[in-house]
């Protein structure tokens, strides 16, 4: 696949609605910001936010700054946005951390709560890092969380229920992995590349974590603002065709020196 330059990638992100005018409506975004501010831990994605973000307007301000949603608190319904320039900026920050991992031949764990959209993004990054000598962490066998099995598919940890890969925001699968590694006497990863509660839990436990997040998942952006999560890339995390993410992944890997 040709590697897009920044302008071409921005155009692609907008055209495929990975960024720009995304599918997530404004009222859904604001509802999630409010629930996070009200202390609903489902929306904390494994982070411990205490009472630091009890004002939903503070959450909106972070999301406007780091994701590019409309910053007007009176705008309650209609289309909302992700700024594609912020997406590419975050990809560049993630690329710098991946380059560091490659240079140090670090151990890296991959995980996704969005297997229908982002699994192959993670798989491609894992393949690229393995080729540089990084260890791609193999998780312990027999792990369970949230009434499902935690296992790896194409080097990416996922939650499985009833022979189906599960969309989950829960931090419990990552907690099961980190606890399982400790039980087995193994060191924790140098880096976690993930999304949702998988990334939040890792960051909260002090593991370097970078991740992807949608405009209605504010916790990881707050985590980056507070320094608990190293990088959060804003994007629509489940567009109509997962192949739409391929140019973005190619840009990321090239920027990291992994192609």
Structural domain boundaries in the chain: 1-258
Is 141 exposed, middle or buried (CB count within 10 Å of its CB: 0-12, 13-18, 19+)? exposed
**pLDDT tens digits in sequence order for the chain, 259 residues long:** 789 999 999 999 999 999 999 999 999 999 999 999 999 999 999 999 999 999 999 999 999 999 999 999 999 999 999 999 999 999 999 999 999 999 999 999 999 999 999 999 999 999 999 999 999 999 999 999 999 999 999 999 999 999 999 999 999 999 999 999 999 999 999 999 999 999 999 999 999 999 999 999 999 999 999 999 999 999 999 999 999 999 999 999 999 999 9
The phi and psi torsions of 196 (rounded to 5 degrees) equal 50, -145
* Other CB atoms within 10 Å distance of the CB of residue 214: 24
């Amino acid at each position: 696949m040709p590697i897009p330059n920044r302008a071409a990638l921005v155009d692609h992100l907008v055209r495929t609605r990975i960024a720009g005018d995304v599918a997530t409506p404004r009222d859904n975004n604001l509802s999630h910001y409010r629930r996070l501010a009200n202390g609903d831990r489902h929306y904390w994605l494994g982070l411990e936010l205490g009472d630091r973000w009890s004002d939903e307007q503070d959450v909106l301000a972070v999301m406007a700054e780091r994701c590019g949603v409309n910053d007007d608190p009176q705008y309650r319904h209609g289309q909302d946005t992700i700024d594609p320039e912020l997406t590419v900026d975050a990809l560049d920050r993630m690329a710098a951390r991946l380059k560091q991992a490659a240079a140090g031949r670090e151990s890296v764990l991959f995980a996704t709560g969005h297997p229908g959209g982002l699994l192959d993004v993670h798989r491609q990054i894992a393949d690229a890092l393995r080729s540089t000598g990084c260890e791609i962490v193999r998780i312990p066998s027999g792990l369970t969380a949230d009434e499902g099995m935690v296992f790896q598919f194409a080097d990416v940890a996922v939650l499985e229920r009833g022979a189906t890969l599960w969309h989950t925001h829960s931090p419990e699968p990552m907690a099961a992995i980190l606890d399982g590694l400790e039980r087995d006497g193994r060191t924790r990863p140098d880096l976690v590349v993930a999304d949702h509660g998988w990334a939040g839990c890792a960051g909260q436990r002090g593991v370097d974590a970078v991740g992807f997040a949608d405009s209605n998942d504010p916790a990881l952006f707050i985590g980056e603002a507070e320094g608990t999560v190293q990088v959060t890339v804003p994007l629509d995390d489940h567009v109509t065709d997962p192949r739409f993410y391929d140019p973005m992944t190619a840009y990321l890997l090239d920027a990291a020196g992994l192609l």
